[in-house]
Amino acid sequence: MAQKPSIPKGTRDFSPTEMVRRNYIFDAIKRVFRLYGFQPIETPAMENLSTLTGKYGEEGDKLLFKILNSGDFISKVSDELLNERNSNKLTTKISEKGLRYDLTVPFARYVVQNQNDITFPFKRYQIQPVWRADRPQKGRYREFYQCDVDVIGSNSLLNETELVQIIDDVFTSLNIKTVVKINNRKILAGIAEVIGENDRIIDITVAIDKLDKIGLAKVNVELSEKGVSDEAILKLQPILALEGNCDDKIAQLEVVLNTSEVGMKGVNEIKLLFAYLNNLSLKTDVELDLTLARGLNYYTGAIFEVKAKDFDIGSICGGGRYDDLTGIFGLPNVSGVGVSFGAERIYDILSQQDLFPSDSLETTKVMFVNFGEKEEVYCLPVLTDLRKNGINTEIYPENAKMKKQMNYANKKQIPFVVLAGESEMSKNRFTLKNMTSGDQKSVTAKELINILS
């Protein structure tokens, strides 16, 4: 009984065409990363559950894919526990590994574990899939790739500056028009302090983050529901309404946050960062967005988010500074900052705006038609020569009908076909056909290489 094959919900196969395009994105990103001195690492798809749990909040824990222990794990579980039917409790007994949820936490684990071999500041990039047991929907998958760059072990705002430059370079090279939004968690903390809701900072940031999505009124409702006092919400209004260019906003913040030490620290960081950036003639727009908060709560300083202009798809890149991510693994006081590029969304933008290059180094450039054994022998040395010259070359492996072989070349979008049968062999030449124009001409082996190089 042949069963209908399928893949798990929220996962995808990638066809050759898609892979060529995905690699185009990854290559562009990697090229920029290397340009700034970042080095690649990889970590396992699975981590110990103890490494992952508790790092992403309660919601994040639910979205972790857990891996069942090997062997006869259930026999070791007590009858009481089984009868309790408590999934959470049972999970800790039958699963001790999980698929990674992002690349940052495994990176922090890596840094702590290898701290004696790492030279700080450590600049690494990492491009690997991550998994979330989320319910998939448009542009959201259960398995997707993240492209992370982080530098850990340096407090300098030069790192933030370089990350913005990297963002600028990547999206310029991919031809995507973007705007980089920057904020600072210390400013948000300062705001919370000033309005007297110090310990509600997470609720406040999450709510503020939705400002441009759901509007001011609904944000206020949400704040109120979360238990923020009316008085504090009232105090918050002028801050949310801050207008003007970057300098104006900063000037106003300096007044509002005057009494908050963290807040002023944040303002100073932002000032310095923009001072660096304003000198760089970036091609991307960079703006200070005080409503930018970002969900992840390990951020402590600068936060970034990149949005594509003329394309409403959410953020395509985001990140920030985290002062103590390695602390939970026993290495305190090591600050890091990094951003992550969302490959899937970048892919969607490039394909919808038709921005992928038409030619690729990953596809076949020329195919030899197979006319039979004698002709194969005649062609093989030339195939070898072409390959030695870096030209992607293949020969149809069977003496099939011409139509079939041509069809194969056409479907595979191979731009050139070589025909070498009896008449060509007698003249020691080859017929080269251009599949786009349909033109063909008789050439020598040497000319073949020259034309196709």
Rounded to a whole number of angstroms, the minimum distance from the CB of residue 251 to RNA is: 30
CA 144 to CA 167: how far, in whole Å?
Answer: 20
Name the segment binding RNA (CB under 7 A); options: 5-13, 17-25, 171-179, 354-362. 5-13
422 touches RNA by CB under 7 A? yes
Rounded to a whole number of angstroms, the minimum distance from the CB of residue 396 to RNA is: 12
410 touches RNA by CB under 7 A? yes
407 touches RNA by CB under 7 A? yes
What DSSP designation does 442 have? E
CA 258 to CA 269: how far, in whole Å?
Answer: 15
Query: Exposed, middle or buried by CB within 10 Å (0-12, 13-18, 19+), for 364?
Result: middle
Of 215 and 244, nearer to RNA (C-beta) is 215
Rounded to a whole number of angstroms, the minimum distance from the CB of residue 419 to RNA is: 4
412 touches RNA by CB under 7 A? no
Q: Reply yes or no: is the peptide bond before residue 121 cis, omega within 30 of 0.
A: yes
Of 263 and 338, nearer to RNA (C-beta) is 338
Please identify which residue in 93, 140, 235, 265 interacts with RNA, judged by CB under 7 A: 140
Please identify which residue in 78, 83, 116, 137 interacts with RNA, judged by CB under 7 A: 137
403 touches RNA by CB under 7 A? yes
The two three-digit tokens of residue 423, written as one number: 């008449």
Beta carbons of 344 and 317 less than 8 angstroms apart: no
Of 76 and 218, nearer to RNA (C-beta) is 218
Of 131 and 274, nearer to RNA (C-beta) is 131
Of 49 and 267, nearer to RNA (C-beta) is 49
Q: Give residue 296's identity as a one-letter amino acid code.
A: L
CA 312 to CA 291: how far, in whole Å?
Answer: 18
57 touches RNA by CB under 7 A? yes
Of 263 and 342, nearer to RNA (C-beta) is 342
438 touches RNA by CB under 7 A? yes
Closest CA to 360 of 23, 13, 30, 33: 23
CA 67 to CA 344: how far, in whole Å?
Answer: 25
Of 243 and 439, nearer to RNA (C-beta) is 439
Beta carbons of 33 and 167 less than 8 angstroms apart: no
Please identify which residue in 314, 327, 331, 449 interacts with RNA, judged by CB under 7 A: 314
Instruction: Tell me which residue has tokens 């948000």.
Output: 188
CA quadruple 389, 390, 392, 397: dihedral, nearest 10: 50
Please identify which residue in 109, 185, 345, 365 interacts with RNA, judged by CB under 7 A: 345
Q: Using alpha carbons only, what angle is made at residue 12 by residues 8 and 14, rounded to the nearest 5 degrees?
A: 145
For 160, 283, 378, 410, the CA distances from 393, given in Å and listed in that order, are 45, 39, 15, 15
Please identify which residue in 342, 365, 378, 393 interacts with RNA, judged by CB under 7 A: 342
Please identify which residue in 136, 154, 211, 445 interacts with RNA, judged by CB under 7 A: 136
Rounded to a whole number of angstroms, the minimum distance from the CB of residue 296 to RNA is: 5
Instruction: Tell me which residue has tokens 């001011």.
Output: 216
338 touches RNA by CB under 7 A? no
129 touches RNA by CB under 7 A? no
259 three-class SS: coil
Instruction: Tell me which residue has tokens 């069809």.
Output: 407
Strands in 416-419's sheet, in edge-to-edge order, are: 393-395, 366-368, 416-419, 430-434, 440-443
Please identify which residue in 208, 317, 337, 395 interacts with RNA, judged by CB under 7 A: 317
- As a whole number of Å, the end-to-end CA separation of the chain is 51
How many residues line the site for RNA (CB under 7 A)?
Answer: 59
86 touches RNA by CB under 7 A? no
**What are the residues binding RNA (CB under 7 A)?**
3-4, 6, 8-10, 57, 59-60, 63, 102, 132, 134-142, 144, 146, 206, 209-210, 294-296, 314-318, 340, 342, 344-345, 371, 401-404, 406-407, 409-411, 419, 421-424, 431, 433, 435-436, 438, 440
